[in-house]
Every structure is written in C-alpha cells, then in structure tokens.
A and B are shown apart, each in its own frame.
Chain A
Amino acid sequence: TQLLEQSPQFLSIQEGENLTVYCNSSSVFSSLQWYRQEPGEGPVLLVTVVTGGEVKKLKRLTFQFGDARKDSSLHITAAQPGDTGLYLCAGTYSGSARQLTFGSGTQLTVLP
C-alpha cells in the first residue's frame, strides 16, 4: 500500500499570512492532484501536475511538483478566510491498477 504523508496536519493562521502545505511519498507518482474539501461537501479538484519540476499557479495558490515526482507543495499567498478547508493531495503510481491514493490531509483555518 502506497503511503502519502501530508504536513502539517493542522494549520491555523491569520488572514494575510502565507503558508505552505507539503505532500510526500517514498514512491514515484505518475501524476498528483490537489483537492480542497469544505465542511459537508465532497473534495473539489484544484490542480493536476504530471511533470517533475512543474509549477502551476491558480490565483494566490502555487503548486509545485518535485523534480523526482515524489513530493509536492501547495503555497498560498495572503491567505483569506475563504481558503479555510481540508486540503488533500492524491496521487497515482505506476502499476497501481489505476488507483488514486489520498494523503491524510491538512486542515487549514484562516482567521479574519
């Protein structure tokens, strides 16, 4: 079973601060996705990265895929209360029978 570790598990910051969330695996990803889940709802896809070293930006969110495709980070600039939610990374691995493995999640709270 592939393990995807996310850190930190919980993060509480003030509005306007910057933050970074990490996703790490001991195995190489074929592709990696980041989702955000709000209370009472299902996860919603934010981005998919597939190439080592790839950087994608989505407004104030910057996603980076590690060169070796074993890790990824999500950086949020000037966080807002609307960014509050559970951030999940999810990866697919070569030869893993088309399975999406989710990380343990980072619960982000942005205080006004």
Chain B
Amino acid sequence: DTAVSQTPKYLVTQMGNDKSIKCEQNLGHDTMYWYKQDSKKFLKIMFSYNNKELIINETVPNRFSPKSPDKAHLNLHINSLELGDSAVYFCASSQNGVEETQYFGPGTRLLVL
C-alpha cells in the first residue's frame, strides 16, 4: 500500500478555474504538509496541519486553502488559478514534528494554461 498518495498526478487547466488536489496518508501520522516545487526544483513549504489545526501558513495567496476532513487527509483547494501556479505540488506527512522523517507523496503536476 502506498504510504502517501495524491490525486490527480497530472492536472491541466485554464486560468481562472478552481481545482482541488487530494492527499491521503495511511501511516497514522499526526502532521501533514503541502509543498510547492517550482521549475528550478526549489521546494517550499505552503501549509502544515497537526490534528486538524493549521500550524504553519507561509506567505501563500489566500486563493490556496488547505482542508483536512480528518487526520489522514489534507486536501488543497485553489481558486482562480493563475499561470504562476504551475508547479509540482507535494503532500507529505510526519509522525509529529517537522524534525522527524517526512514521507512525501508522488506529486501533482499542475499546468495552468
């Protein structure tokens, strides 16, 4: 079984659309994260959730909203997509704090046209 899974793997959409990316972890971890990796492979934290509570929120546009229906899921909803949102988005999880091993999903490749 895949530890951290994301859907979809590829997402191509038009500017202005709203889209969601789903993430699920079956590791029983308490903390989940969303990262954005740009075209230069730079990986930057966007959000993290611990027991349904947002504990980090970087300077991310409010068009991005994380939603966690339960401890095993952290979905990412994006409103009014812009060209600059094109990137690979990774979900990750860890048992507790950020200094512990983070397990990454396979990524969602988003292309905004």
Binding site for B on A (CB under 8 A): 30-31, 33, 37, 40-45, 48, 50, 86, 88, 90, 92, 97-102, 104-105, 107
Contact = CB atoms under 8 A, between A and B. Distances in A.
Interface of B: 4, 40-45, 48, 55-56, 58, 90, 92, 97-99, 101-107
B101 to A, nearest CB: 5
Contacts of A107: 41
Contact of B42 (A41, A98, A102): A102
A41 B107 contact: yes
**Main DSSP-derived SS at the A contact region:** strand
B56 A41 contact: no
A78 B33 CA distance: 35
A98 B56 contact: yes
Given A41-B107, A42-B4, A100 B41 contact: no
